[in-house]
Structures are given as structure tokens and as C-alpha cells.
Structure 1
Amino acid sequence: MACRGRGTDLLSGIIPELCQKYPDLHFMIGGEGPKRIILEEVRERYQLHDRVHLLGALEHKDVRNVLVQGHIFLNTSLTEAFCMAIVEAASCGLQVVSTRVGGIPEVLPEDLIILCEPSVKSLCDGLEKAILQFKSGLLRAPEEIHNLVKTFYTWRDVAERTERVYDRVAGEAVLPIDKRLDRLISCCGPVTGYIFALLAVFSLLFLILLRWITPDSVIDVAVDATGPKSSWTLQHPRRAKLDEDDGKSETR
């Protein structure tokens, strides 16, 4: 089993419980930090030196070689926006078990990830489910998982999604400062809301000061450097011809 070295407190409770139930279970833990000593103490206390392998910080080029040694990937993060690590693990053919936090539920489909609450009991239940699936041969083949995951995220797809977000934001109405402050106060509570509103006012005053020191009129306006009619293309006709040829080759 490959593990990510976040949520160390959760991981320190999972290791002894599952190692006791499954004698053939091994943990490979990647990552480095001040809480590594907690895992070292757990390994020492339960005499798990031959079953808990602390790999420390890994170079990105070495991540794949570590992941393919396991069958299940455990992510115990308490906060997460996207979590590229579980995409990499799934791409290497591992069944993912992860906490249900942040944007993680949106990263992989339900049949490729077992989502758990950020608690030792919930994660142990999720891991036992994955272990039983593995032992009964119900997990997908690594090649099948890899071929599926590699279709989820491409640079073109990411760029199109990002563009849609920018277009949606650009089309939204800009709220005046008083309504922004009202929204902060109403959404964040009577105490925290006023603190955030005060910080927002200070930020606005600081921005006004900066615009007074350096007026907008003295700042160069960014030119459109992309597209068929951009200034960059007009200045470099040979490059434009190459881009046009590349575009034709992509559509063939």
C-alpha cells in the first residue's frame, strides 16, 4: 500500500490497527515533515520496521517507481483543493482511498476512489473495503485504470475549463464596495465578518494609495499576443505561417 505523508495523526492510528488484522499488509509512506517522528514512534512501538517503510521526500521522477509497487493508495489529507497525488496514483493503476475533503470528490469517478470521512475509523473501513476487493480480484486491472485516467485530464481540456471559468467571472456584475462588505459580514458571522470587512477596507485604502503613487495612465497596457490578428503574429509572419501549419496538422 502506498501512502501520502499528510494527515499523519490519522495515519498513525490506521497503521497499527490494520497491520494487526492483515499480516501481509505493508505501508510505503512518501513525504517529509516535522510529524515524521510520530510515524517512527508508531513503527518502533509496534515493531513494524519490516512493514512500514518511510521513504521521505521523493523526487518527482521517482514517484511512479514507488507507486507501481503498491495496489492501494491512501490519502489522509485534512484539507485539499485538487490533490494531484491521487490522479498520479490512479494513473499508475492503484485503487485510491481518500478523505472526503475539499475538491477531492470531484477529481476521480466513484468507481476509482473510495471516499471516507477524515477519521481513523472511516479510513480503516475504506481501506478494508479496498483490501477485500483486491483479495477477491474485484479491482480493475492497472492497465485499464491507467487508460481510463489518461482521458480525464489533458492540457487542452484544462485550458478550456479555465477559459470557461474566466468567461463566467468576466460576465458577472461587479458589486460595489458596500455590498461586498455586507456580504462578508453576513457570510462570515458577526465577529469574523467584521474583521474580514475591516481587512477589506484596509486593502482598498492601500490599493488607492498605490494607484495614487503609480497612476494607471503610466502603466503599459498588455497587448494581445495570441490569435490570428495579434500584434505578435503580425510582427512575425514566418512564425504565424508555422502556427497555421501546426493547426492544419492537428485537424487532420
Structure 2
Amino acid sequence: MDGTKHRILMVSDFFFPNFGGVESHIYYLSQCLLKLGHKVVVMTHAYGNRSGVRYVTNGLKVYYVPWRPFLMQNTLPTLFLTLPIVRTIIIREKISVVHGHQAFSTLCHEALMHARTMGYKVVFTDHSLYGFADAGSIHMNKVLQFTLADIDQAICVSHTSKENTVLRSGISPEKVFMVPNAVDTAMFTPSPKRLSCDEIVIVVISRLVYRKGADLLVEVIPDVCRLFPKVRFIIGGDGPKRVRLEEMREKFSLQDRVEMLGAVPHAQFPYRGILHSHSGSSKLWTVDSKHQSWRCPREPAPEDMVRAVKKAIDMLPGIDPQVMHLRMKKLYSWDDVAKRTEIVYDRAMQSSTTNLLDRLPRYLTCGSWAGKLFCIVMIINYLLWRLLEFLQPAEGIEEVPDIRPLHSQLDSRDDSCEAQEKQI
């Protein structure tokens, strides 16, 4: 690493006050990058009355641009209408790297396209796994192929996710880094005493959608409840598959053993389970459908998941929560994620800058008709950018002064980002 301090614009349709894995990832990563001395600004769409510029913990600046969500918290795709505001923010904040998050984020794709047109370095993080057969996945894979055709670097949160992204987009594997998610070990604290196995609570926290394995859960829960009378489930999250889970609960008369909490803010969730869908930081064991392939088959069937749960339950008497917590604290650290992401930024800054004519052939490889369409889109985007440069020169856009992060003014008695205050 060359020690360069970067000026990063995080872009996604998914950010607080919305709750989810992408939102938490952007927030915690930004906090730790601020701690490392980088400047970080977040751009997302407006949420209710939350519009304009806001500051959250440690002076993290968030632009809630005045667009409303169109579908599933995504803004309406416009291709070119976001160019003026993206350009203004990049110039005002003196951004050097634009980092987009989540393949389903419209704002992410458009911001990366505009930033690349303007000659800035761009990085993309793919957070989820997607298929290849259904109509939605086919469409999204083509969009991802367009976005990643001219990307500097990409990040995936697991090796399986990397393979999935490379297959879907055609990006060179050499451009893709694997940087895992982390867990806030300060929020997930173990019980001071050994937990009793008289009642085993399995906690699932997830968006209830197909790609998160909600359909798998519908088939697993009845079998687990039949095999283990002492087990009950707490399910936190919402989504289109919630109806299937509620129908399953009614069909097998599991109302007293399957508790559906719906969408619950992180701070209000009763973290009291034994098995947790994200980590074993405060609990005892984790059963994950894909990312933890050493605990469960890579392409799990319901019976595979049931066997994995049985194995975890059998191991409960010999597990010490404190030991597991310390292990998770070392394995999944946001400080480590930030340092690894810093390396990705350094690599992106070292990539060569090319003009439009050099970049167009990369889009032509995206398909016989799609490649030509992508080239037309990029040419129009380039012409609009040049028009904006003429109508409103960059020199006429006022640059904002940098604000010193609050944590640098305080007594930092704990070096871990996970121990910082998380009030939004």
C-alpha cells in the first residue's frame, strides 16, 4: 500500500434509515475508512422527509438526493438525468474514487457510468448471489455486464460470490477482490453464563426473498420442528416470501414455535437466539446456506440444511459462548475489511486512464446488439457531460471544506470501529 489518502463517494439506493446488510456494510465500512484518514461521502436517494445533506456519526456526510424510490427502494432508471447531480457532488467533494454497492441499485449503476465518463476511478461491490435462468436475473446480469465492462476494480463478499459475479458479468477474475463482510461484535455480546439447551432458539435475520434462501427456509423449518421438539424459530425481516412462511406456519400449526417479527430496526431486535443467520458472535453456531460452505453443502437441498442444523444442535453442549465470541471478533472485523478495501482503492488508482474511443471496444464485447446499444449510451453520456462542462464549468462549482472527523477530536480509548457509538 502506498499510503495515499482517498476521497471516496459511496453510492447506493440502500442506506439508513432503511435497514439491511448493504446499508450496514456501507455505514460500518465508511466509519472505519474515516478512522484511517480517508474522506468518505455517501450518496443515496431521499427517504421520506429525509432529503438534502445530513451528517451522521463521526461527521459522515450523506447526500439524500431528491429522488423517491420507485420499486423495492430503488429509484426509477433514468440513465442520464442523474448526471448533473452526480457530477456536482464529485466536484464539490473533490472525489477521487466512486464506490458503488449492490447490483440491484439503479443509482449505483448510473453513478458508476457517469464517474467513468468523467474519468474518475470506480469500484463496485456485489453483495448478493443471483441466478441465470429467470427473467429478472437475465436482465440484471446484462446490466451488470454493462457496468463492469469498464470498471477499475470489483469486490465480492465471498469466494462463491466472486465466481457468481465473474460468470454473470464476464469481468476478468484478476479485477475482482474477495473482501468478506464483518460483524459488529460490540452489539452481539454473549451471555455471561452458559446457555441452557432446554429450549433452543434459532434466529433468522434476512430479507425474505428468493436469493436469500427464504424458499429453502419454508421447507427446512417443519422438518427441524418435527425432529427437535425443544426448538423454536424467531424470524426477523420482511419481503415477498414472508407470505409463504406464514402459510407454512399455518399449515403445520407452528404458530407457537415460529415467531415472525417483520422488519425490525437493528437496535430493537431481541438478539437472544442460539443459531444466527449472520454470525456466531453472541450465539453458539452458524448455519449458512452458501457463504459458509464448510458448514453446509455449497448448493444445499432442504435435507442438507436439516442435517447441518442437527449437527449444530448436537454440538451445543460443548460450545462456550465466550470462546466463540472471541473467535468471531478476530475473524470478522470491520477494521480489517476497511484495510483490505483500502488496498482495492490503491489498485484502482494505479489503473491507466483511457479516453472514450479506447473504452468503447470493451462495451462491444457485451453482445451483438447489446454491445452496440451500450456504446450508444456511453457516447450520449459523454456528449451530455461535455455540454455540462460548457454550460457549468467545473471551476464555477464551489468546493466544500473538509470537516475533521469527530473521532479524531475525542479520546479514542478503543481502537475498534465496532466499539464506536452507532446512533444515526
Scaled by the length of structure 1, the TM-score of the pair is 0.66
User: How much does 1:169 deviate?
Assistant: 0.7
2:286 is paired with a residue whose SS is strand
CA distance in 2, matches of 1:40, 1:212: 57
Equivalent position to 1:3, from 186, 192, 204: 204
CA distance in 1, matches of 2:360, 2:319: 51
**1:178 equivalenced with 2:384 (yes/no):** no
> Do the aligned partners of residues 2 and 215 (structure 1) sit closer, same or farther apart at CA in structure 2, a change above 3 Å counting?
same
User: How much does 1:212 deviate?
Assistant: 1.9
> Do the aligned partners of residues 73 and 18 (structure 1) sit closer, same or farther apart at CA in structure 2, a change above 3 Å counting?
same
2:384 alignment partner in structure 1: 206
2:245 alignment partner in structure 1: 39
Equivalent position to 1:217, from 395, 398, 403: 395
Scaled by the length of structure 2, the TM-score of the pair is 0.42
> Do the aligned partners of residues 127 and 92 (structure 1) sit closer, same or farther apart at CA in structure 2, a change above 3 Å counting?
farther
**1:162 equivalenced with 2:341 (yes/no):** yes
User: How much does 1:191 deviate?
Assistant: 3.6
CA distance in 2, matches of 1:72, 1:133: 8
**1:49 equivalenced with 2:242 (yes/no):** no
> Is 1:73–1:97's contact at 8 Å kept on the other side of the alignment?
yes
2:253 is paired with a residue whose SS is coil
User: How much does 1:55 deviate?
Assistant: 1.3
User: How much does 1:132 deviate?
Assistant: 1.9
Q: What amino acid is the match of 2:237?
A: G
> Is 1:97–1:127's contact at 8 Å kept on the other side of the alignment?
no
2:264 is paired with a residue whose SS is coil
CA distance in 2, matches of 1:154, 1:59: 22
CA distance in 1, matches of 2:403, 2:319: 46
CA RMSD of aligned residues (A): 3.5
CA distance in 1, matches of 2:245, 2:333: 36
Aligned residues: 208
> Is 2:276–2:283's contact at 8 Å kept on the other side of the alignment?
no
CA distance in 2, matches of 1:125, 1:212: 61
Percent of residue pairs bearing the same amino acid type? 30
User: How much does 1:11 deviate?
Assistant: 2.0
1:79 alignment partner in structure 2: none
1:110-146 Cα offsets, whole Å, 9 max, x none, are 76x54642x5x1x541342232232144864222121
> Is 2:284–2:316's contact at 8 Å kept on the other side of the alignment?
no
Q: What amino acid is the match of 1:18?
A: V
Equivalent position to 1:97, from 264, 287, 306: 287
Q: What amino acid is the match of 1:144?
A: V
User: How much does 1:26 deviate?
Assistant: 1.9
Q: Which has the higher contact order (CA 8 A, sep 6+)?
A: 2
Q: What amino acid is the match of 1:216?
A: A
CA distance in 2, matches of 1:189, 1:140: 53
> Do the aligned partners of residues 220 and 48 (structure 1) sit closer, same or farther apart at CA in structure 2, a change above 3 Å counting?
same
> Do the aligned partners of residues 137 and 157 (structure 1) sit closer, same or farther apart at CA in structure 2, a change above 3 Å counting?
closer
More strand by percentage: 2
> Is 1:185–1:197's contact at 8 Å kept on the other side of the alignment?
yes
Q: Decide which structure has the larger Cα Rg and report it.
A: 1
> Do the aligned partners of residues 211 and 133 (structure 1) sit closer, same or farther apart at CA in structure 2, a change above 3 Å counting?
same
CA distance in 2, matches of 1:207, 1:166: 25
CA distance in 2, matches of 1:185, 1:139: 57
> Is 1:96–1:114's contact at 8 Å kept on the other side of the alignment?
no
CA distance in 1, matches of 2:381, 2:282: 45
User: How much does 1:73 deviate?
Assistant: 2.5
User: How much does 1:31 deviate?
Assistant: 0.9
Q: What amino acid is the match of 1:200?
A: M
1:29 alignment partner in structure 2: 235
Structure 2 unaligned runs (5+)? 1-201, 416-424
> Do the aligned partners of residues 222 and 90 (structure 1) sit closer, same or farther apart at CA in structure 2, a change above 3 Å counting?
same
2:261 is paired with a residue whose SS is strand
User: How much does 1:221 deviate?
Assistant: 4.8
More helix by percentage: 1
1:71 alignment partner in structure 2: 274
User: How much does 1:154 deviate?
Assistant: 4.6
User: How much does 1:3 deviate?
Assistant: 1.1
Structure 1 unaligned runs (5+)? 75-85, 227-231, 233-238
